[in-house]
Amino acid sequence: MNGITVPRKDTEIRLAVSGSFDTRAYLNSQRFRGNRVLDPRPSPGILRIATIGDSFTFGWGANDGQDYPAQLERLLNSRLPAGSPIRTVEVINAGISASGTGEQALWYDIWVKDFHPHLVILMVFQNDVEDDLVKRVFQLDERGRAFPRPIEDLQSASRSYSFAQRASQFIPGHRFLSERSHLYNLIRSAVSNAVAKSRQTAEVGAHIDRQLFEQIGLPLFSGEILWLNSAIRKQGSRLLIVNMPDRELIQPDTEGREKQEDKEWIRARSSAILKRLEAVSREHGIPFLDLTSLFVEFAHRQRKTLYYLHRDRHLNPEGYAIAAEIISSHLLKMELLQSGN
């Protein structure tokens, strides 16, 4: 859609990683996760929240109802203050797996905003900047402001990016798998990312990751957030940014499954993104919530795992529940539920 990756509509998919989980998810006719079909504009007394982000928002590794947006909706509805003009809270799961902040911002602008959410929650993960650098949905002007690339450029880049995806059409059972297997589509996307990144590496040099991350990635990331915030405010809505910590920061790999240099890069990247988010939020008055310290506290106190520990690094259902609990408490402290306007 307009040169960016969007969820398929009316699709039942299987999310499975051997040794970790085997789950199911449904995408409705409006391209959102879940069976419910929404009215384009919420009725009086309904507070609508749209959640955007990557696979942590979509709920990779969780069945329908276990993803954090679904759990957040249940928690908020159970905690509506007495006398509140809000009768019901609706939370839209508009997450797109394997996407970056730029794609998510544009996804909001070309589709999600038409459902008139009162609040938009952007969940950020440590690989979002690199996803942006691969797909380049936004670009910076001479003053450092981000703006979407022309649709024609996005469509051209999308055709180049989807080289591996187009080639996969010749795989027996491609259509069946692409309509029903989210894992199959994630693998296609990962291969496409690798192809795109290898092409950039050949053009820029061996130090592409760190150089581009610091010199272009972070400024682009900041600009995309400010562009999204402006688009949301034009709709009369509000933005909340949530930082989702990587597993390495909460439950470090002690079994040598990952290379030390990869661990160090995850920590450095996470730290740089957190600092940038704190600065942008403080300077522009955007509400911000970092889940890291609260996740660490819960994991140590309860001695429970919040992430899958073997072939996948996403949250498990209990981890999504903790994210929903923390976010719901934060929203109540913001007194968001006192008014639906």
Would residue 4 count as lying in a domain?
no
pLDDT at site 321: 97
- pLDDT digits over 193-214, tens only? 454 444 444 333 334 478 889 9
pLDDT at site 207: 42
pLDDT at site 184: 57
pLDDT at site 177: 55
User: Three-state secondary structure along the chain?
Assistant: CCCCCCCCCCEEEEEEECCCEEEEEEECCCCCECCCCCCCCCCCCEEEEEEECCHHHHCCCCCCCCCHHHHHHHHHHHCCCCCCCCCEEEEEECCCCCCCHHHHHHHHHHCHHHHCCCEEEEEECCCHHHHHHHHCCEEECCCCCEEECCHHHHHHHHHHHCHHHHHHHHCCCHHHHHHHEHHHHHHHHHHHHHHHHHHHHHHHCCCHHHHHHHHHHHHHHHHHHHHHHHHHHHCCCEEEEEECCCHHHHCCCCCCCCCHHHHHHHHHHHHHHHHHHHHHHHHHCCCEEECHHHHHHHHHHHCCCCECCCCCCCECHHHHHHHHHHHHHHHHHCCHHHCCC
Would residue 265 count as lying in a domain?
yes
pLDDT at site 341: 45
Would residue 300 count as lying in a domain?
yes
pLDDT at site 188: 53
Would residue 294 count as lying in a domain?
yes
Q: How many structural domains does the chain have? A: 1
pLDDT at site 233: 97
pLDDT under 50 in the chain at which residues? 163-166, 170, 174, 178-180, 192-193, 195-208, 340-341
pLDDT at site 156: 67
Would residue 288 count as lying in a domain?
yes
Residue 62: which domain range?
11-338
Would residue 312 count as lying in a domain?
yes
Would residue 169 count as lying in a domain?
yes
Q: For position 40, which CATH number holds?
A: 3.40.50.1110
Would residue 1 count as lying in a domain?
no
